[in-house]
């Protein structure tokens, strides 16, 4: 199943590193986009150890939740000409990720292949209320092209928003792959 891009959904250190290793094993030489904001030095170290060409790696810190992983990156996938994307996240997180992807990705004519990795919380099932909530938010985003809950989420996830600034400062040596959008984007 050839893909044009590996899209790793961030959110925890262990999940990102496991997803990255899966991507490197299954899709060598394919561009890798990681949507954070939990990206750690460990993930960058894996890239360096595996000899990942830095030009193939893009790190994006704009997302504060699963919906914004897709709404910030899907338009750029379309602009970049990516037709088929491997979405890599934990089995626990995959139901919500697939629900959102099934609504957002077709808007940008991008097909996806879900790749669920084994991860610590996989014995648990994700709360269906989160899945339904994000499904509704996704449809609202498609209709308005804006996350109508954005202000509330930025207040609720203030720690994640604050983390973005810290990550950019710490990973600035990684150049333009550490992309952060303005609040207007």
pLDDT digits (tens, 9 = 90+) for 96-115: 999 999 999 999 999 999 99
pTM of the model: 0.81
pLDDT, tens digit, 9 for 90 and up, residues 53-111:
878 888 887 787 899 899 999 999 999 999 999 999 988 889 999 999 999 999 999 99
Alpha carbon distance 185, 145 (integer Å):
12
Alpha carbon distance 108, 31 (integer Å):
18
Alpha carbon distance 50, 108 (integer Å):
31
**What CA–CA distances, in Å, run from 100 to 17, 38, 43, 130, 133?**
22, 20, 25, 11, 10
pLDDT, tens digit, 9 for 90 and up, residues 3-38:
999 999 987 777 888 888 899 999 999 999 988 756
pLDDT, tens digit, 9 for 90 and up, residues 31-52:
999 887 566 667 777 778 887 8
């Amino acid at each position: 199943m050839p893909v044009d891009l590996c899209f790793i959904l961030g959110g925890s250190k262990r999940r990102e590193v496991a997803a990255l290793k899966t991507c490197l094993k299954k899709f060598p030489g394919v561009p890798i986009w990681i949507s954070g904001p939990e990206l750690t030095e460990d993930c960058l170290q894996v890239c360096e150890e595996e000899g990942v060409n830095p030009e193939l790696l893009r790190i994006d810190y704009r997302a504060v939740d699963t919906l914004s992983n897709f709404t910030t990156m899907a338009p750029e996938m379309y602009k970049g000409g990516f037709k088929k994307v491997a979405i890599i996240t934990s089995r626990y997180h995959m139901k919500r990720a697939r629900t959102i992807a099934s609504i957002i990705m077709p808007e940008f004519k991008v097909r996806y292949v879900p790749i669920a990795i084994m991860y610590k919380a996989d014995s648990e099932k994700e709360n269906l209320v989160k899945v339904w909530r994000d499904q509704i938010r996704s449809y609202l985003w498609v209709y308005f092209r804006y996350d109508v809950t954005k202000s509330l989420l930025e207040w609720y996830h203030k720690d994640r928003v604050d983390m973005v600034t810290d990550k950019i400062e710490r990973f600035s040596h990684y150049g333009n792959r550490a992309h952060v959008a303005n609040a207007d984007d």
